[in-house]
Amino acid sequence: MTDANPIIPHLIASSTSWIEGEAVRQLEHTARLPGMRAAVGLPDLHPGKGYPIGAAFLSERIYPALVGNDIGCGMALWQTDLTARRFKPERAAERLSGLEGAWDGDLAAWRADWKLEPTAFDRALGTIGGGNHFAEIQQLEQVFDAPALAALGLDTEHLCLLVHSGSRGLGEAILRAQVDQWGHAGLDPHTAEADAYRLAHDHALRWAEANRALIAQRLLTALGAEAEQRLAVWHNGVESVAWYDERLWLHRKGAAPADRGPLVIPGSRGALSYLVAPMGDGAINLRSLAHGAGRKWKRGEARARLSGRQRPEDLALTALGGRVICEDKDLLYDEAPESYKGIERVISDLTEAGLCQVLATLRPVLTYKMRRSEQSHRTGRIHQRRMRQD
DNA sequence: ATGTTC
């Protein structure tokens, strides 16, 4: 079911930027959905499961499948009290483990602080998850706008912590219930069904935000550090927006909001991240910016392509000198810098289009993705041995 | 992306 008179999607990328054909086809297909009013592909556009990632869509209807399973996924930045001069990455790495398991703190109090209802997925509160999610200690590298940095409460002496995670199994369950009941048809916003989805969606936004805060707290506790949150955005979600004289629904799928002040657009583990200030009125970019470098290779593809030239231990230390904790080999390869496009081009596409300016860059120092417990480590080896025999 | 795996 597609619209007879589709709107023309706008792609924000210079002519020499490489965008996968499949991603553009998905963008065009999505632009044909009924009620679609505008569609934009950002420079990190890449193929997703039916719908592209790195895109924003303005529509008369609400499309849960367009938001995807990781409702509320986003980035939050803290300034820590760790000083860059004294920080010892190798010692810090030794202290970081166990963030995959359930938090042993007072979950009820945490839920109350964040106005969360109990869910069947609360054991995952405070866990990073897989895919491109991470918690990363970063150091401000180059400052282009010192007053803006000071206004944000950031300084170059202290290390930052950037957390990228989402709503884990909760968002997945919300999407699955929608697709089971309604397929991909989308919801009329003036219905009880739409109200029910919005309620669950908005709860997942808060859950995801609370998750990022608890991840930060657990990591900082392990390091004996304290921090204050400076920036927080989500890049998967749908919201009601006043668009000229209409009320429409703005879907962001791997698209950062450009209407909530400065934000960090992270590169891969082997690249700088960019602290940017959005610019412009948001008309051509649907009030959205890229959410990262954008995947170049599909998940599951990287290990075969890379393992001949890079061993897992090579990937544990990046070109910029950052350490990476990731004891899942497939994940380590999938998230290797080579699996991603260059963040520099993504940022220059945005700045050349007049959509943001760079305030500062941040260098990755220590990235935590996942540590295996002793027990699951053994299980993993047994599993691998059995697979080899098959 | 996913208490991802039957």
- The amino acid that residue A208 corresponds to is A
Q: Which nucleotide is nearest to A383 (CA to C1')?
A: B5
Residue A15's contacts (CB-CB under 8 Å, 6 or more residues apart) are none
Which residue in A172, A168, A167, A166 sits closest to A69, CA to CA? A172
* Minimum-distance residue to B4 (CA–C1'): A130
Q: Which strands, in side-by-side order, build the sheet including A10-11?
A: A10-11, A36-46, A53-59, A246-253, A236-243
Q: Which nucleotide is nearest to A331 (CA to C1')?
A: B4
Which positions on chain B have an atom < 7 Å from some protein CB?
1-4
Which A residues between 104 and 123 have a beta carbon under 7 A from any strand B atom?
Answer: 120-121, 123
Beta bridge partners of A240: A249
Residue pLDDT tens, chain A, 390 long: 666 678 999 999 998 889 999 999 999 999 999 999 999 999 999 999 999 999 999 999 999 999 999 999 999 999 999 999 999 999 999 999 999 999 999 999 999 999 999 999 999 999 999 999 999 999 999 999 999 999 999 999 999 999 999 999 999 999 999 999 999 999 999 999 999 999 999 999 999 999 999 999 999 999 999 999 999 999 999 999 999 999 999 999 999 999 999 999 999 999 999 999 999 999 999 999 999 999 999 999 999 999 999 999 999 999 999 999 999 999 999 999 999 999 999 999 999 999 999 999 999 999 999 998 654 444 444 444 443 333
Which of A46, A158, A203, A291 is catalytic? The answer is A291
Which A residues between 292 and 321 have a beta carbon under 7 A from any strand B atom?
Answer: 299
Residue A118 pLDDT: 97
Residue A295's contacts (CB-CB under 8 Å, 6 or more residues apart) are A46, A53, A132, A339, A340, A341
Residue A141 CB burial class (10 angstroms; 0-12, 13-18, ≥19) = middle
| Domain locations along chain A | 10-387
Q: Which nucleotide is nearest to A120 (CA to C1')?
A: B3
- The amino acid that residue A350 corresponds to is L
Decide: CB of A380 under 7 A of nucleic strand B.
Answer: no
Spanning CA of A383 to C1' of B6, the rounded length in angstroms is 14
The CA distances from residue A325 to A97, A328, A339, in Å, are: 9, 9, 17
Write out the CATH class of domain A10-387: alpha beta
Residue A5 pLDDT: 72
Q: Which residues of A fall in the annotated binding site for GMP?
A: 132-136, 235-236, 273, 291-294
Decide: CB of A169 under 7 A of nucleic strand B.
Answer: yes
Known catalytic residue at A184: no
pTM, rounded to two decimals: 0.94
> How many Cα atoms within 13 Å fall on the side-chain side of residue A255?
36
